[in-house]
């Protein structure tokens, strides 16, 4: 499944605060600073860590893919060269309500394991990072690790991985500083996550 990295609301978002980003991001930093992170405190906001870099989710929405839920969240930021970078995380699963979901390494394995254990809870993670030059690298979960899923006060399923799990590179040759195996954490991602408001 091809992921669409830039949608119209995100491009409007870039235009609105790009100048603020350039002035607020100091030179020499090797980390990706999320767009929101340069303006407000993001320590308690939904997002993820990819290879040690913190991304704040700018939106999240759920679709159906071949009968399985596909929850996609997007984040924008700048790298140390002030280049726009985006990260996209997609969670694919059969909605079995709250509980502990076991990670799988491919969509085919997700289908196979769900068919063999209809009551089981399984989930596939796909994560990517890409810049405007279309340099990219994509990762997927491996067959180890778990995702904590619980209801929030609005009865949305909220996904968390508080302790890092491994993701393995699946494609792409961009971002040479990103190795084949990286650590990944997920913080409070849920359906219809609103775009954070600026102060």
Half-sphere exposure of 145 (CA within 13 A, CB side): 24
Asked whether the whole model's pTM tops 0.75, one would answer yes
Of the pLDDT bands very low, low, confident and very high (cuts 50, 70, 90), residue 12 is very low
pLDDT per residue as tens digits for the range 101-114: 999 999 999 999 99
> What's the DSSP call for residue 198?
P
Report the candidate in 196, 157, 177 with the shortest Cα–Cα distance to residue 30.
Answer: 177
Taking CA 58 as the corner, what is the angle to CA 109 and CA 125, rounded to the nearest 5 degrees? 10
Does residue 45 have a pLDDT over 50?
yes
Mean pLDDT across the stretch 154-163? 90
**Bridge-based pairing state of the strands 47-50 and 59-65:** unpaired
Domain boundaries, the chain: 8-190
């Amino acid at each position: 499944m091809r992921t669409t990295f830039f949608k119209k609301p995100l491009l409007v978002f870039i235009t609105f605060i790009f100048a603020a980003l350039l002035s607020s991001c100091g030179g020499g930093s090797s980390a990706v600073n999320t767009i929101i992170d340069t303006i407000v405190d993001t320590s308690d906001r939904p997002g993820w860590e990819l290879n040690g870099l913190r991304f704040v989710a700018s939106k999240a929405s759920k679709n159906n893919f071949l009968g399985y839920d596909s929850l996609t969240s997007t984040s924008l930021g700048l790298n140390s060269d002030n280049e726009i970078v985006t990260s996209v995380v997609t969670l694919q699963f059969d909605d079995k309500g709250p509980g502990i979901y076991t990670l799988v390494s491919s969509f085919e394995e997700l289908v196979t394991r769900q068919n063999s254990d209809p009551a089981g809870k399984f989930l596939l993670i796909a994560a990517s990072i890409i810049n405007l030059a279309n340099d990219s690298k994509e990762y997927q979960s491996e067959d180890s690790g778990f995702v904590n899923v619980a209801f929030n006060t609005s009865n949305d399923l909220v996904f968390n991985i508080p302790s890092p799990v491994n993701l393995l590179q699946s494609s792409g040759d961009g971002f040479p500083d990103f190795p084949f195996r990286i650590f990944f954490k997920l913080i409070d991602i849920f359906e219809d996550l609103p775009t954070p408001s600026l102060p």
